[in-house]
């Protein structure tokens, strides 16, 4: 039991700079909450004071942000200054990670959508962009033999303009045209292409132009 | 007990597979003698006890199926977490055995560390990074028993990789080389000597990397990993950030000359650094490793 508790405590420190700071200030109450041998207490008290414990904390964050940044770059972009707050909230409320890209990003997508629904996150673009990138990610991992290689995502802003602005890392204007748009992501030819589906808004057959080729 | 390599064949120079590599491998397969793969990145693990627990990622496995008949494959596992207290996942081991049957891997390796943690509710969570185990006698006994279980289950050499660590565990009963020597000597596992991990630890903890490797039983070294790194927040890290530093090449030459049972040298880089390396950069790293391999093992 003791080694297990030592490992739980060490992992808690790596995940929480706040806990490290508390233990540096006064290790006794922090370490008392773990059932440790005296040698393990001394080891952990020394480790939290080690300047390299901060590197563990940084690597924990790097490892958790990597799948989000790799597969959801536009979501990160539309979150802008809100990204850091959302990540910290996500990490503090979802300690359970398994470092697998797909489940970790699925959890983040669910978290963001819930934050939008409850009004805790007010960002007019995030829901459609996170849905779009989640669909693209699914297709990247799909089997050409057994999975459907086409996805549809609903947008409430002009997707051609929105996606092109994000691709260029441009600021998003406040007056982007709104409407009901259906975007088709198609990976059947081995490469992902993006186009507008026929809609009831008179856009039949119109393609998304410059965003046709996603990668 | 020394049983790690009697029947294994020397391969030469390989590369650790990552998602940036399919195009390179399709056009430059002759540049490598083998490919090392992380099986855990080819499936989604839905958790202990879940039906259809290891759900394969179709597109990734299709590439592996293309690769397997053309070049030897070896395993570099991430998911065993062999240093976890009170957690040793036999379903995961069985999945590795099934994949071994399917792909006939030349050898298997794992990290000498822990990431998975048994939770109080009977489940588990992940530390989010590989953390070091204390080099104590009870930990050696626990890991040694697991090594033997792996070797009974999978008919191929099994290697453990020396860890990179940042905050050091004080007051350990053994030094790292003593711990590694006892694991290979008493439990029959080989050593995957990650030279960049040694280089990183030597920088951050102020020891002589040549003395470190000379303290190891180099006859147990079956595979070597080489990589690059960079500084994050003022600390040198094992980030696999592109080309190997000069000191890694020097250490590789030093070890390769003495590791008489060495089967292969594997270059690893993180896929996000592919734009820094490009195909030419990867070829250059592999060619430099091959020069050293051929100097001592051709």
Chain A CB within 8 Å of residue B141 CB: no
How confident is the model over B19-42, as pLDDT tens digits? 899 999 999 999 999 999 999 999
Element (H, E) at B221: strand B221-226
DSSP 8-class letter at B76: E
Residue by residue, pLDDT tens for chain B (298 residues) are 555 555 689 999 999 999 899 999 999 999 999 999 999 999 989 889 999 899 898 888 999 999 999 999 999 999 999 999 999 999 999 999 999 999 999 999 999 999 999 988 888 889 999 999 999 999 999 999 999 999 999 999 999 999 999 999 999 999 999 999 999 999 999 999 999 999 999 999 999 999 999 999 999 999 999 999 999 888 999 999 999 999 999 999 999 999 999 999 999 999 989 999 999 999 999 999 999 999 999 7
A37: which chain B residues are within 8 Å (Cβ-Cβ)? none
Strand ranges for chain A from DSSP E = 150-157, 178-186, 193-196
Gap from A157 CA to chain B (nearest CA, Å): 31
- Determine contact: A47 vs chain B, CB below 8 A: yes
Q: Which of A1, A2, A6, A10 best probes binding to B when mutated, by most B CB atoms within 10 angstroms? A: A10
Render pLDDT for A166-181 as a digit per residue (tens, 0 to 9): 999 888 888 888 999 9
- Whether A137 has its CB under 8 Å from any CB of chain B: the answer is no
Task: Tell me the shortest Cα–Cα distance from A202 to chain B, in angstroms.
Answer: 36
Average pLDDT, chain A: 87
A1 interaction partners in chain B (CB closer than 8 Å) = 86
Cα separations in angstroms, A59 against A177, B27, B83: 41, 34, 19
B128 contacts A15? CB cut-off 8 A: yes
C-beta atoms surrounding A98 within 10 Å: 21
**Sign, CA torsion B256/B259/B264/B266:** negative
**CB A55 to CB B235 under 8 A?**
yes
Residue B22 in contact with partner chain A when CB distance is under 8 A: no
Interchain proximity B58–A142, CB inside 8 Å: yes
3-class state of residue B257 by DSSP: helix
pTM: 0.89
CB contact under 8 A, B126 and A142: no
Q: What angle do CA A70, B33, B270 make, to 5 degrees?
A: 15
Task: Tell me the count of A-B CB pairs closer than 8 A.
Answer: 122
ipTM given for this complex: 0.95
- Residues of B in Cβ contact (< 8 Å) with A48: 167
- Contact residues, B window 240-269, toward A, CB-based 8 Å cutoff: none
Alpha helices in chain B, H assignment, sequence order: 22-28, 58-67, 90-103, 137-153, 176-187, 195-205, 209-214, 246-258, 274-297
Residue B139: its chain A contacts at CB < 8 A? 3
CA pair distance B28, A50, nearest whole angstrom: 44
Contact of A100 with chain B, judged by CB distance below 8 Å, is answered with yes
Which residues on chain A are in Cβ contact (under 8 Å) with B84? Answer: 7
pLDDT given for residue B29 in this prediction? 98
The closest CB to that of B117, out of A8, A142, A147, belongs to A8
pLDDT digits (tens, 9 = 90+) for A47-81: 999 999 999 999 999 999 988 998 999 999 999 99
CA distance B101 to chain A (A): 22
Distance separating alpha carbons of residues A75 and A130, to the nearest angstrom:
6
Q: How many angstroms separate the CA of residue A17 from the nearest CA in chain B?
A: 14
Using a CB–CB cutoff of 8 Å, tell me whether A69 touches chain B.
Answer: no
- Whether chain A has a CB inside 8 Å of the CB on B89: the answer is no
Residues 140-199, chain A, touching B (beta carbon < 8 A): 140-147
Which backbone phi and psi does B224 adopt, to 5 degrees?
-125, 135
């Amino acid at each position: 039991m003791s080694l297990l508790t030592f490992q739980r405590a060490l992992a808690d420190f790596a995940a929480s700079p706040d806990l490290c700071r508390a233990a540096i200030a006064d290790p006794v109450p922090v370490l008392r909450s773990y059932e440790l041998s005296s040698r393990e207490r001394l080891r952990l008290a020394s480790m939290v004071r080690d300047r390299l414990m901060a590197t563990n904390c940084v690597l924990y964050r790097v490892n958790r942000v990597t799948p989000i940044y790799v597969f959801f770059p536009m979501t990160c972009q539309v979150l802008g200054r809100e990204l850091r707050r959302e990540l910290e909230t996500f990490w503090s409320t979802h300690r359970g990670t398994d470092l697998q890209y797909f489940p970790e990003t699925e959890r983040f997508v669910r978290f963001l959508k819930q934050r939008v629904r409850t009004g805790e996150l007010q960002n007019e673009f995030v829901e459609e962009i996170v849905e779009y990138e989640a669909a693209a990610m699914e297709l990247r991992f799909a089997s050409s033999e057994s999975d459907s290689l086409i996805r549809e995502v609903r947008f409430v802003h002009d997707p051609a303009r929105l996606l092109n602005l994000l691709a260029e890392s441009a600021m998003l204007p406040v007056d982007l045209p709104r409407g009901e748009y259906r975007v088709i992501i198609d990976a059947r030819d081995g490469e992902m292409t993006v186009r507008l589906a026929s809609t009831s808004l008179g856009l039949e057959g119109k393609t998304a132009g410059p965003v046709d080729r996603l990668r | 007990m020394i049983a790690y390599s009697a029947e294994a064949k020397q391969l030469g120079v390989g590369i650790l597979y990552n998602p940036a590599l399919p195009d390179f491998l399709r056009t430059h397969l002759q540049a490598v003698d083998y490919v090392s793969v992380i099986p855990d990145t080819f499936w989604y693990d839905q958790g202990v006890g879940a039906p259809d627990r290891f759900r394969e990622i179709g597109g990734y496995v299709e590439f592996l199926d293309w690769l397997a008949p053309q070049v030897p494959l070896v395993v570099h596992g991430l998911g065993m977490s062999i240093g976890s207290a009170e957690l040793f996942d036999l379903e995961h081991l069985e999945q590795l055995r099934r994949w071994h049957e399917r792909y006939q891997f030349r050898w298997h390796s794992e990290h000498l560390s822990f990431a998975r943690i048994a939770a109080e509710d009977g489940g588990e969570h992940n530390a989010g990074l590989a953390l070091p185990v204390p080099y104590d006698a009870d930990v050696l006994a626990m890991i040694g028993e697991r090594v033997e279980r792996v070797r009974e289950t999978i008919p191929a050499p099994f290697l453990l990789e020396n860890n990179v660590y940042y905050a050091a565990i004080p007051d350990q009963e053994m030094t790292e080389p003593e711990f590694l020597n006892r694991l290979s000597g008493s439990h029959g596992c080989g050593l995957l000597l990650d030279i960049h991990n040694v280089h990183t630890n030597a920088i951050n903890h102020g020891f002589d990397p040549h003395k470190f490797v000379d303290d190891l039983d180099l006859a147990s070294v079956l595979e070597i990993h080489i990589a690059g790194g960079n500084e994050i927040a003022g600390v040198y890290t094992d980030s696999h950030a592109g080309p190997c530093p000069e000191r890694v090449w020097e250490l590789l030459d030093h070890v390769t000359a003495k590791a008489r049972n060495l089967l292969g040298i594997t270059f690893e880089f993180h896929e996000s650094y592919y734009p820094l390396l490009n195909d030419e950069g990867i070829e250059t790293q592999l060619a430099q490793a091959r020069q050293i391999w051929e100097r001592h093992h051709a």
